[in-house]
């Protein structure tokens, strides 16, 4: 038995080490929680005495998600403990969110939350100053949010799962994952003798124009009515570059029936009305559940993953209750359960969800989540998206939706002449480039003739949203200019059919006929894209824009990293706790061994 005098310092050292560990473990300001699933719940309940609360949230989630989220939340111990008696979801068009927030605030109505906004919309609200910073040092209820945030990866498939401001404050957090691609109906493909598309380029192929204009075999949606299809169109522009992107978008729209909303396009491919529809991933999974002939396809190296945002609005009158909802939405025992429902079929952002009994019943979603870890996606520039999204949406609307009948009629004749061998490949390439090149028009702001370049889109973006006269003038100029363009292509087609030589120039752009692309199962056009960065004439403002223009055929592989140091100091402390506990135990054991060996009986 060793001497007592050696035992006292050992005990003191052990006590200090364990106290240090306990201090790290108690980084959150709660102890001995009564709720195993939500350890922050008692702490939040003690921060406010307010009960009988109704929360109001702006959302872009469809009705099925709203209904299930409301039911699960109101029946949860979180809502009961904090006295939240109702949560009201307001499904408002994305472009109206700022004005809706302002009008509600002036009427004394507190809109508390954002639930299910795409990153572009969430970033726009943040730019306008509507989002509350998540900062536990100033608002202790935010510790609950940080606790749940630390369960999430910092990135997934190259996409951020949350956004920080310049001061390091978190502004929004992703609560569900969304991918973007298209859904095919194999029965309809077989019926019309069409090959399976694999890329965005394939959707622009003339093979899908064979039955036009009577039977469009691709479905897509009006971007003014569908934020998911807006994101798809932006993905194509960023993956392919401005000029090439608009060529693909124009020919894809020419091949398509354009539906009012993304749900209509989804239902069309399920029924077999079209062979292919551009869809968000969970619409594709839904289609597969309803019709086994359907399959969702994410174009490898040409798309991305989104994390739909939740955030607290700074207009809230119930900050503690709002924080509780955010924490609940991120928890594997709370809002992440919504995505497991077979009628919703979305991928949870919290990987712990798959460890719950309900999560273990969805190995298909777990497999989809695991595939995202090595998914090759584009590096999508969210800043650029915020800078141009209005211009992209309204230009698409004016030229490809409003003038769609004219476009499709001309494209049907051009594609038909090429497929039947009545015009050469060089003529076909020339006509498709002429059909899809960005318009020139009179800028209503400066009065100068300009081209719809990427720089002009950024320049006019904010004015389109804020100035009704500018919006009306441009929509009229774009739609009428598009119709004139399509009629001019029809005249060019007549020249081609007469056997005239292919022109060597296209209005202000040198055109070089290209050799046929490498043969694939789908004959697709290939024209060299003009360089991004040409300045719109008469505009002297230099707009520094950084955009990834790497061809999608050679993307960089994006793999989910482990939690980075940019996550939060809380996650760093959590990872250190285990190490310190292990080190403390080893030191204590070593000291005891030394004393025992030296001790006298």
Q: Which of 297, 98, 83, 56 is nearest to 200 (CA)?
A: 297
Nearest to 146 by CA among 414, 271, 138: 138
- Report the C-alpha gap between 177 and 152 in whole angstroms: 12
Q: Residue 194 carries which DSSP code?
A: -
Higher-confidence residue of 309 and 19: namely: 309
Give the DSSP letter string of 530-556.
PPTTPPPTT-------------TTSPP
Euclidean distance between CA atoms 194 and 256, whole angstroms: 15
DSSP class of residue 40? Answer: T
Could you report the per-residue pLDDT of 75-118, keeping only the tens digit for each?
999 999 999 999 999 999 887 899 999 999 999 999 999 999 98
Residue 372: per-residue pLDDT: 85
What would the mean pLDDT of 360-385 be, rounded to a whole number? 88
Question: What was the pLDDT predicted at 159?
Answer: 80
The lowest-confidence range among 127-141, 464-478, 500-514 is: 500-514
Residue 286 pLDDT greater than 80, yes or no: yes
Confidence label for 35 from pLDDT (cuts 50, 70 and 90): confident
Compute and round to an integer the Cα radius of gyration of the chain.
29
- In this structure, are residues 179 and 300 in contact, taking their beta carbons and an 8 Å threshold? no
Residues 490, 431: Cα–Cα separation, whole Å: 9
What is the CATH code of the structural domain delimited by 41-177+305-372?
3.40.190.10
pLDDT greater than 60 at residue 506: no
**195 versus 20: which is more confidently predicted?**
195
Is-contact 375 347, C-beta < 8 A?
A: no
The answer to whether residues 388 and 454 touch, using CB atoms and an 8 Å cutoff, is yes
Question: Per the structure block, which two tokens stand in for 433?
Answer: 């480039």
**Contact partners, residue 306, CB within 8 Å, separation at least 6:** 118, 119, 159, 174, 177, 178, 179, 180, 231
* Contact call for residues 322 and 49 (beta carbons, < 8 A): no
pLDDT band at 564 (very low <50, low <70, confident <90, very high): very low
Both tokens assigned to 173 = 């957090």
- Is the pLDDT confidence value at 237 over 90? yes
- Other CB atoms closer than 10 Å to residue 214's CB: what's the count? 6
Pull the structure tokens for residue 405. 């009948």
Closest C-alpha to 543, from 451, 464, 457: 457
* Segment 561-582 mean pLDDT: 39
Structure tokens at 38: 């939500």
HEC sequence for 358-400: CHHHCHHHHHHHHHHCCCCCCCCCHHHHHHHHHHHHHHHHHHH
Is the Cα dihedral 206, 207, 210, 211 positive or negative? negative
Cα 266 to Cα 282: distance, rounded to the nearest angstrom: 10
- The average pLDDT across 351-367 equals 96
Average pLDDT over residues 239-268: 97
pTM value? 0.74
Q: What CA dihedral angle connects 64, 69, 75 and 76, to 10 degrees?
A: 160
Long-range contacts of 16-25, Cβ-Cβ distance < 8 Å, separation of 24 or more: 17/580, 17/584, 17/587, 17/588, 18/584, 20/580, 20/584, 21/577, 21/580, 21/581, 21/584, 24/573, 24/574, 24/576, 24/577, 24/580, 25/577
CA distances (Å), origin 258, targets 202, 217, 334, 515: 17, 11, 37, 32
Identify the band that residue 598 occupies on the pLDDT scale cut at 50, 70 and 90: low
Domains of the chain, by residue range, sit at 41-177+305-372, 381-513
| pLDDT band with cut points at 50, 70 and 90 for residue 558 | very low
Which has the closest alpha carbon to 489: 533, 437, 537?
A: 437
**Could you write out the three-class secondary structure of 469-494?**
HHHHHHHHHHHHHHHHHHHHHHHHHH
**Would you state the structure tokens that stand for residue 284, as one six-digit string?**
């594709």
State the sign of the Cα–Cα–Cα–Cα dihedral 64, 66, 69, 70: negative
pLDDT beyond 60 at 568: no
Peptide bond before residue 597 is cis, with ω within 30 degrees of 0: no
* pLDDT of the residue at 6: 52
d(CA 452, CA 261): 26
Between the alpha carbon of residue 569 and those of residues 17, 24, 44, 347, the distances in Å are 21, 11, 21, 27
Q: Please name which of 206, 200, 161 lies closest in space to residue 181, comparing C-alpha atoms.
A: 200
Higher pLDDT, 272 or 593: 272
């Amino acid at each position: 038995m060793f001497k007592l005098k050696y035992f006292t310092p050992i005990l003191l050292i052990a006590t200090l080490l364990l106290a240090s560990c306990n201090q790290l473990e108690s980084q959150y300001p709660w102890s001995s929680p009564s709720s195993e699933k939500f350890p922050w719940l008692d702490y939040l309940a003690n921060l406010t005495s307010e009960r009988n609360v109704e929360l109001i949230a702006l959302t872009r989630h469809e009705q099925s998600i709203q209904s299930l989220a409301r039911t699960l939340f109101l029946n949860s111990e979180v809502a009961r403990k904090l006295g939240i008696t109702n949560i009201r979801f307001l499904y408002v068009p994305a472009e109206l969110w700022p004005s809706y927030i302002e009008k509600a605030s002036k009427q004394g109505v507190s809109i508390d939350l954002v639930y299910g906004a795409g990153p572009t919309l969430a970033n726009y609200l943040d730019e306008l100053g509507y989002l509350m910073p998540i900062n536990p040092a100033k608002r202790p209820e935010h510790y609950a949010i940080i606790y749940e945030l630390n369960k999430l990866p910092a990135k997934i498939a190259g996409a951020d799962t949350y956004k920080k401001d310049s001061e390091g404050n978190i502004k929004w957090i992703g609560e569900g994952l969304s991918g973007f691609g298209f859904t095919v109906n194999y029965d309809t493909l077989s019926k019309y003798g069409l090959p399976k598309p694999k890329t965005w380029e394939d959707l622009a192929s003339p093979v899908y124009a064979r039955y036009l204009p009577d039977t469009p075999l691709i479905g897509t949606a009006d971007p003014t009515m569908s934020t998911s299809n807006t994101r798809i169109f932006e993905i194509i522009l960023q993956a392919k570059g401005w000029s090439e992107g608009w060529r693909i978008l124009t020919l894809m729209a020419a091949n398509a029936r354009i539906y009012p909303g993304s749900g209509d396009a989804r239902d069309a491919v399920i029924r077999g009305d079209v062979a292919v529809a551009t869809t968000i991933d969970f619409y594709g999974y839904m289609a597969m559940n309803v019709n086994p002939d359907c399959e969702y396809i994410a174009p490898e190296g040409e798309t991305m993953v989104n994390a739909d945002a939740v955030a607290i609005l700074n207009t809230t009158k119930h900050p503690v209750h709002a924080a509780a909802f955010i924490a609940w939405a991120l928890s594997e025992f709370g809002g992440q359960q919504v995505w497991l429902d077979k009628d919703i079929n979305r991928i949870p952002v919290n990987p712990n969800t798959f460890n719950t009994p309900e999560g273990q019943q969805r190995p298909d979603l777990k497999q989809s989540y695991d595939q995202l870890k090595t998914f090759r996606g584009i590096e999508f520039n969210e800043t650029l998206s915020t800078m141009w999204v209005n211009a992209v949406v309204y230009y698409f609307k004016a030229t490809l939706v409003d003038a769609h009948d004219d476009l499709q009629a001309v494209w049907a004749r051009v594609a038909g002449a090429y497929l039947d061998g009545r015009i050469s490949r060089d003529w076909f390439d020339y006509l498709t480039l002429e059909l899809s090149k960005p318009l020139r028009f009179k800028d209503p702001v400066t009065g100068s003739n300009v081209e719809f370049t990427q720089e002009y889109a950024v320049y006019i973006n904010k004015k389109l949203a804020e100035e009704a006269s500018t919006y009306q003038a441009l929509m009229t100029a774009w739609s009428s200019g598009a119709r004139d363009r399509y009629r001019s292509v029809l005249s060019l087609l007549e020249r081609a059919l007469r056997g005239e030589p292919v022109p060597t120039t296209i209005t202000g752009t040198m055109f070089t006929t290209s050799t046929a692309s490498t043969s694939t199962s789908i004959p697709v056009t290939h024209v060299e894209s003009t360089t991004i960065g040409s300045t719109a004439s008469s505009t002297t403002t230099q707009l520094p824009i950084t955009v990834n223009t790497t061809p999608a055929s050679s993307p960089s592989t994006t793999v989910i990293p482990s939690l980075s140091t940019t996550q939060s100091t809380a996650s760093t402390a959590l990872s250190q706790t285990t190490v310190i506990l292990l080190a403390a135990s080893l030191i204590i054991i070593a000291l005891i061994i030394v004393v025992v060996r030296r001790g006298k009986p």
